[in-house]
Structures are given as C-alpha cells and as structure tokens.
Amino acid sequence: MNRRALVVGATGGLSLYLAGCLSGDPGASNDGYDVGMRASSFEPARLEVSVGESVVWRNTNSRSHTITAYERQLPEGADYFASGGYDSERAARDAFWNSFGGVLTTGQEFEHTFTVAGQYDYFCVPHEKAGMVGTVVVRE
C-alpha cells in the first residue's frame, strides 16, 4: 500500500471514529445499559420491556444528548420522564435551550422505570430535527 493511501485512509477512519459514526464506541456491547447514543440516533431506536422494568440510557458518544419524552404521546396515567428530572416537555426543552439543562455527557446515564403499559416516544432536544428519536414499548 502506498503511503498516501495509508494516510488518507487512516485520517478518514479516525474522523469517523471521533464523530461517533463507527461501532468502535464504548457502547457497542451494551454493557450495563439498554440504549446507547450515536451522533444523532439512539441504539436501539426501539426497545421492548415489561411493566415494572427500568430502562437505562447511556451517552456512548462524544456529543451531549438528552432523553425527553413527548408528553402528549404518553399512555394515560404514565409518569413523564426527562433527563434532568423535568416534569414536562416544555420545562425540559426550555432548560436545555436556556442553560443546557438535562444534558448527558459522554458516559453519563439516565434511568426510568415504566409502570404503565403502552408506547413511549422520546427524543434528544438538540438533535430532534436530525431524527434522534426513540421508542420504548412497555408490555403487560
């Protein structure tokens, strides 16, 4: 292999790794958590659990992320959840845009226990428009 091709290939690979686009991130094995995070996606994007189970999200990326439930889409009687402990979607959005509230940095985790069956859609506030949304389906 010629030297120029080696340098170009190594530089491109390093750039993808640092951007969190390759599976070489620390969350690839899901050790101790249920949902990891990439640059603009949750991994896995859909998760099924049973009533009473907890889900642990871990930021496995170098970007900062939030976990924020879509409040109007919660099953009836379900508790609202958002990293930072906010009690509404509006409060979580405002906290992020005003002071980066609710942010999980690399390696930080957020946990929520689901007590009501149904579908829970959630998103990352700063990366929502890039499609960073996820779903937890809670079965009886």
Distance CA 64, CA 72 (A): 25
> 14 lies in a domain?
no
| Predicted model pTM | 0.79
Structure tokens at 135: 């779903």
CB contact at 8 A, 105 and 64: yes
- Is residue 121 within a helix (H) or strand (E), and if so which, with residue range? strand 118-123
- Give the rounded percent of residues in the chain with a pLDDT score beyond 70: 79
Q: Find the CATH number of the domain harbouring 126.
A: 2.60.40.420
Domain that holds residue 69: 26-139
> 107 lies in a domain?
yes
- Domain count along the chain: 1
Convert the pLDDT of each residue in 57-82 to its tens digit.
999 999 999 999 999 999 999 999 99
